[in-house]
Amino acid sequence: MNKDHGDASKSEQGRTKSSSKKDEASGDHEEDFRLVALAQQGDMSAYDELVTRHRGKIYAMIRNMVKNDADAWDLSQDVFIKAWKALPRFEARARFSTWLFRISHNVVYDWVRKRKIESAGELNDEIFDRDRIDLSARTAPAFVESPDDALSNSELREKISAALETLSPEHREAVMLKDVQGLSYKEIADVMECTLGTVMSRLFYARQKLQNLLKNEYESR
């Protein structure tokens, strides 16, 4: 009896957390749509505001995919330039952030394809590996360590990052979109241009691997 009550209360807690997040997010989406409508009429300051609102998410996502700060900075810039060009075609059926993630997906995979052609190497996933990336490939400011980088030095984050790096790019992207960015299965399928079943299977295997790699962390909590 007590166990049932405990389970029900846990279930409620989990749902309350996610629903309050959703309420908070829905206001953000309304503001996004308002700014998008202005930007579609050519209002550059509205678009600038959209860039400011979403640049952090896009940068974090791309950085975790390409494993290089300077390239992530450049590619994030490309995403927003491409998004501006495609803005007249944006319809409010999807969230603006989801739409940006879809553009990011295309920009990152185009970049990877281009680099594979340039390097004329094997068509494998090692292009995502930090050590294989030519740091002088494009112009970008030299970076100093930011407070965020200091945070990244935390032991657990390093462990998670290392565990994520063992995943294939598709699996890593699915995990990032679902468990870090909080997208729904349907949204991930839209972003990655695949079926709901593919998303579920990718997430299942990726999570299983991650959960095994981070098993000690669970047990210590």
Partner 1 sequence: MNTNPDEIKLALWLDDELTGSEFAEMEAWAATQPDQLKAREELREYRSILSAHMPASEELPYPDFFNSRVNQGIRDTQVAETKPVAPTTNPAGSSFWKSWLMPVAACAGMVLAFSIGRHGFGESASIVSNPPLNPSVNPVVYTPEEGVNAEWYASTGADATVIVLAGVSAIPDSTDFSQTVYVPTIREADRTATRELEGAETIK
Output the furthest CA–CA distance in the chain (Å, rounded).
64
Check binding of 63 to partner 1 (CB under 8 A): yes
* Contact region with partner 1 (CB under 8 A), list: 25-33, 66-74, 104-112, 125-133: 66-74
* Interaction of residue 172 with partner 1, rule CB under 8 A: no
Cα end-to-end distance, the chain, whole Å: 26
How far is it, in rounded angstroms, from Cα 182 to Cα 47? 24
Piece in contact with partner 1 (CB under 8 A), picked from 25-33, 42-50, 105-113, 165-173 = 42-50
Who contacts 124 (Cβ-Cβ below 8 Å, separation ≥6)?
Answer: none
Q: Where are the alpha helices (DSSP H) in 67-146?
A: 69-86, 96-119
Task: State the minimum distance, in angstroms, from the CB of residue 30 to partner 1.
Answer: 19
At residue 95, what are phi and psi to the nearest 5 degrees? -70, 150
213 vs 161: CA distance, rounded Å: 11
> What does the binding site for partner 1 look like in residue numbers (CB under 8 A)?
4, 7, 10-11, 14-15, 18, 44, 47-48, 51-52, 55-57, 59-60, 63-64, 69, 72-73, 76-78, 80-81, 84-85, 141, 143-144, 146, 148, 151, 154, 156-157, 160-161, 164, 175-176, 178-182, 184-185, 196-197, 200, 204, 207, 210-211, 214, 217-218, 221
